[in-house]
Each structure stands twice: as C-alpha cells, then as structure tokens.
Amino acid sequence: MRIFWILLFISAASAAAFCSPGGVLEKVNKIQVDPTVVDPSSKIDDSVAPSLVRYNLRAAVRDAHMEEGNSPIRAHIVLDIFSSESPVRKAAGMGSGRSTNTVDGKLVIQDANGKELASVKIHVHGSVAFSTSDADGDRGVHATSDLEQRLLKEIEALR
Amino acid sequence: MKGMIFAAVALVLLSGISAFGQAEQIFKGKVCLGPEGRTPTTINGELSLPCTVPHPKLGARYILFNPDTKTTYYIEGHPKPKSFAGMRVVVVGTLDTSTGTIHIDDMFRGLPAKITQASSVYIDCSACPRGLAVAWKTAFEEIEEWGRFDINPDPKKADLIFIFAGNPYLGDYVTRDGPDTRPVAIKTTYMDVVDPQTGQDLWGDSRVYGSFFVARATHDLIKELKLRMEEESQSNPAAILEQQHPRKTTPSLGN
C-alpha cells in the first residue's frame, strides 16, 4: 500500500512538472534588445564592452530562433564586471588568437511597462568575440562566443 | 595711362573668369572606350555602354559615361584611364568645354551604391584561425567607433558582409558548400565587402602585416574603407586631392 502511495506521489509530481506553466519567454516570438545598462560602480576595462555584450545578446536571441525588433517584451544586460586578460597573459597567448574575458552581470527581461519579468545572473569566463577558435578544425563553422552560448542557454530556459 | 589701367583690370578679370571656367570639378561615371555619343543599352534596368572593346580602332579614346545624366566626356591624363576600363570611378579634373574633355587630376575606383547606401553590416571571421582571430574584435571596435553601420548578428538581415580572412575571397559566399578549408598562412589580412544576396565582392583590400599585426591590418583596412566612403560623398574637389592613401589610385580589387 505504501509503495502505491509513493508511486502515486511520483506520478502526480511529474505530471505537475510537465503541465506547469512555461517561462516568461514562452510563446514570445519577438523581443527587443535594449542597450546594456552600466552602473557607475561597474568595473569595466573595455570601452566597447557594453556594445559587445549587447551584440552577444542579439546573437543569442537570433540563435534561439526569435525575431529581434520592436516588441513589448524587452531584454537587456546589466553589466557589473567586464575584464580582459592581463597584458602578461595576452603576451603569453600572442599568435594563438585566444582571448578570454570575465563577464559578470544580469540578463533582465521586462514587459512594455518596464516591469521586471525575470532576472538571471550571468557569469562567464571565456570568449566574447565571434571568431573561430585557434583550432584549425573549427574553421568555417558558425562562429560563436562563450558569452553568447551562455545567454542562449538562459533564453532557452526562460521559454 | 587711364586706358592702360583699365586694360590691366580687364585682363585680370578675364583671366579670373577663364580660371573659374576651368575650375576643378568632381565627375562620376564609368570608364569606357570611345567613341562618345554611343547609345547606351539597358541591362537589368541599368543603363550601360560596352566599355571594353577587344580590338579597339586606332585613335580610340576613353570616355567617362554617367548613366544618371546620360553624359559622356573624353578623359585624359594620369592615372591612365585604360586601367579603369569598365569600372565606376570618381574623377577630379578640369573640363574643357570646347572639346568635351576632362583633364584628370585624380581618379579612383568609385564605391557601389550598395556600399554607400548600406546601414548595417555583419562581420564574418569564420575562417580566422590562430592570430587572425583578433580581426573580429578589432573590426567590431572600429565599426562601433565609426558609428556609420549597425553591426547585425544576422548575416541575412545585414546590408553588407565584411569578411576578414587570410586568403583571397573567391566570390563564393552564397554558393559555398561547407567551410573554407584552404590552409591559412597568416601573412596577409584580407577584407572584402560582400553583397549578402549575391555574394558579389563590392570592395576589397588587403594588408601584408604578418600574423602579429592582424589588429593593425584590420584597423587600417576599415580606415581605408571609411576614407573611400568619405571621398565618395565629398563635393569639394580640393578635399579629395588632399587625401593621400595607398590604394586611392589603384583600380584592382586588391585580391
């Protein structure tokens, strides 16, 4: 009898999980990508970082098969930290083309009134530029970055 | 004495008028082999003349044909028009109205309207192994600073594709089946501006800076395109003549 109740509980829980409402981006086909928000207290060592981070978000939206443009659902990144490699590390990797950055921030989804629908912490230590890696075997494939891949994963999770 | 002063003043005024009549102007059009006055034909909705003739007659001269105004002028001087045959060019020169001849002071390959009217670009560095990988980030920084184009992450929605590579572009952006597998020796950094619909190479240039100076090469290539676009929109001939840069008078695609 106890086993019956356990099985019943498991099936009810899994059914509830299966039928639970989707994320904030469920049924959203179009999204507006707003400029990156940079707080004065943010630690950013690259002037192009806000644009670069926004580009990564736009690319992730595209790879999630969503349209980018005017939409009541809006997304942006709040950038707290953007740091590049130290000059010593850069010199050590010279010629390899490998470039590593640390990005700390939040992916924020808002509605048309600016009400926050979701906020996801982002921490990436990897590439932000869209070149192929230093491995010759990767040449010619769709170029991507580690930050874009992380943002894509979060967007998929919100659907 | 009064008469002499009057004559001198008249001479000065006349020479001024003459100089004004032969002032430098900017002319745009296509370089074709004469004779002028031929009837242009319409191909794909665009007026054109047969510009390259396999066996030109003795004494045939090059002309500048403007399809918009349907005007033709003889052109002569340096650089030689022959090397620009069939190309859209910008000519800075003086027009001799009595002979209908433009005396060239400067001439360079014009940019297609697809470039000058574009508002968005996609940066393609998918064949950028090793040291060439820095080209993407450098291009992004330069284009952001320029502020002329929106950098779109979707190549299908961008007006232009900026391709950076270590090998010359083969014109196969649209038709290419699979990745570019050519070996890359990073000696030369190539930049090509490609039409995403047709894959046509609209503009291209290169820098032989080696693998340690790819960022510098990318910076220079974008700066070169920026200069060319500024020249294209320039209406002051003197401003064009002032600008000196390596590829200005070279008609080739650079590949």
- Residue B242 belongs to some domain of the structure: no
Q: Judge if B226 and B128 occupy the same domain.
A: yes
3-state SS string for chain B: CHHHHHHHHHHHHHHHHHHHHCCEEEEEEEEEECCCCCCCEEECCEEECCCCCCCCCCCCCEEEEECCCCEEEEEEECCCHHHHCCCEEEEEEEEECCCCEEEEEEEEECCCHHHHCCCEEEEECCCCCHHHHHHHHHHHHHHHHHCCCEECCCCCCCCEEEEEECCCCCCCCCCCCCCCCCCCCCCCEEEEEECCCCCCEEEEEEECCCHHHHHHHHHHHHHHHHHHHHHHCCCCHHHHHHCCCCCCCCCCCCC
Q: Sort out which chain B residues have CB atoms less than 8 A from A136's CB and list them.
A: 129, 184
Residue at a domain's end among B110, B137, B166: B110
Mean pLDDT within A79-98: 71
**Assigned domain for A77 exists:** yes
- The complex's ipTM works out to 0.79
Question: A140 with A132: CB under 8 angstroms?
Answer: yes
Classify residue A4: in a domain, yes or no.
no
pLDDT of residue B43: 59
- pLDDT higher than 90, residue A73: yes
Domain of A84, CATH number, reads: 3.40.50
CA distance B72 to B100: 8
- The answer on pLDDT for A140 being more than 80 is no
Could you tell me the sign of the dihedral formed by the alpha carbons of B96, B101, B105, B111, in that order? positive
Q: Indicate whether B177 pLDDT > 80.
A: no
Residues B120 and B225 in one domain: yes
How open is the CA angle A152-A153-A159, to the nearest 5 degrees?
A: 90
Binned at pLDDT 50, 70 and 90, residue B191 comes out as very high
CATH code for the domain in which residue B172 is found: 3.40.50.10070
- In this prediction, residue B13 carries a pLDDT of 45
Q: Would A132 be classed as within a structural domain?
A: yes
Which residues form the domain of B89? 23-110
Count structural domains, chain B: 2
B190 within domain boundaries: yes
- Is B132 a domain residue? yes
Q: Residue A136: pLDDT band by 50, 70, 90 thresholds? A: very low
**3-state class (DSSP) for residue A100:** coil
pLDDT digits (tens, 9 = 90+) for B93-132: 999 989 889 999 888 888 888 999 999 999 998 888 888 8
Share of chain A above pLDDT 70, in %: 72
pTM over 0.90? The answer is: no
**Percentage above 90 pLDDT, chain B:** 34
* Nearest chain B residue (CA) to A144: B126
Domain extent for A42: 26-157
Contact yes or no for B131 and A140 at CB 8 A: no
Residue B81 and residue B130 in one domain: no
Does B249 fall in a domain? no
Tell whether B37 and B65 lie within a shared domain: yes
Among the partner-chain residues B132, B153, B180, the one whose CB lies closest to the CB of A62 is: B153
